[in-house]
Amino acid sequence: EVGTLTPQPQAGNPPPRLFRLPRDRALVNRMGFNNGGVHAAAERLRRRTSRIVVGGNIGKNKDTPNERAVDDYLTCFRALFDVVDYFVVNVSSPNTPGLRALQDREPLAALLQALQEDNAARPKPKPILLKIAPDLEPAQLDDVVAIVQQVGIAGIVATNTTIARDGLRSDPAAIAAAGAGGLSGAPLRARSTEVVRHLHRATRGRIPIIASGGVFDAAGAREKFAAGAALVQVWTGFVYEGPGIVRAICRDLAASGGGAGPVRAGD
């Protein structure tokens, strides 16, 4: 999964913008959608020879007001359509000012409807998934489910990083030095699983959920599958454990004889 990509190139937030909290097996990032623009990414993807499944994670530029956010997402969707296999709509990063407001019921419905209409008009539509924050309240999660079902997109990614800092064991000075941004890794595990479970129950298992948050091993992946996930994504675990994490998780799941679905490295 590549991204998050935006229509125009942007530098992202000033570095340093990625911090490890090793005692918590966590990361804090405030990258700010740093990328060379969706058209440059599409050109690189067009030249790839691998047949591995690739997703396009799309967002809006920092200086685009929310009132025009739909245009940015459509630009990215159209630029990537022929070179990716699925899409993730990122409205949940805490590192672009105002972005999370797009998770509110009316703007979210308008955004997903516009994307799905463009998608449905094509001969072979692509799966579109919505990536949500772990900080949403139950009523907000229910709104998300209602919109996803109404619009008919393919699934939900649960979850993005959190703005919470509860229960961390790291030195408070290290946490303060990391500053603002999204927290990911082991401290997010329980909350992301809770969100997956809520979504699975609310949708009666009819909408695929990609679980992300605190997966470092087979036990973490198995927990997500038990909560109702169809797929599991790793990011912070990939940083701490290295690229062998996917093979190790799949091997251990297979050896234990169940609870396994596909596991992949995220964006």
- DSSP, res 7: S
Candidates 93, 184, 192, 212; catalytic one? 93
Sequential DSSP letters for 226-243? HHT-SEEEESHHHHHH-T
Q: Find tokens 């309240």 and name the residue.
A: 137
Whether residue 92 lies in the annotated active site: no
In sequence order, the 6+-apart residues with CB closer than 8 A to the CB of 230 are 155, 208, 209, 210, 261
Element (H, E) at 196: helix 189-202
In angstroms, the Cα distances linking 14 to 8, 152, 177 are 18, 38, 14
Q: What is the pLDDT of residue 97?
A: 81
Contact 215, 127 (CB under 8 A): no
Residue 192 to residue 198: CA distance in whole angstroms: 10
pLDDT tens readout for residues 213-226? 999 999 999 999 99
Q: What is the pLDDT of residue 182?
A: 95
CA angle in degrees (0–180, nearest 5) for 130-190-28:
70
pLDDT tens readout for residues 159-191? 999 999 999 999 999 999 999 999 999 999 999
Phi and psi for 151 in degrees, rounded to 5?
-80, -30
Q: What is the pLDDT of residue 14?
A: 94
Element (H, E) at 198: helix 189-202
Residue 124 to residue 105: CA distance in whole angstroms: 28
Give the bridge partners for 231, in sequence order: 210
Q: Is 103 helix (H, G, I), strand (E, B) or coil?
A: helix
Element (H, E) at 168: none
Contact 263, 251 (CB under 8 A): no
Q: What is the pLDDT of residue 261?
A: 59
Q: What is the pLDDT of residue 96?
A: 85
Name the stretches of the chain with pLDDT < 50. Answer: 267
Q: What is the pLDDT of residue 29?
A: 94
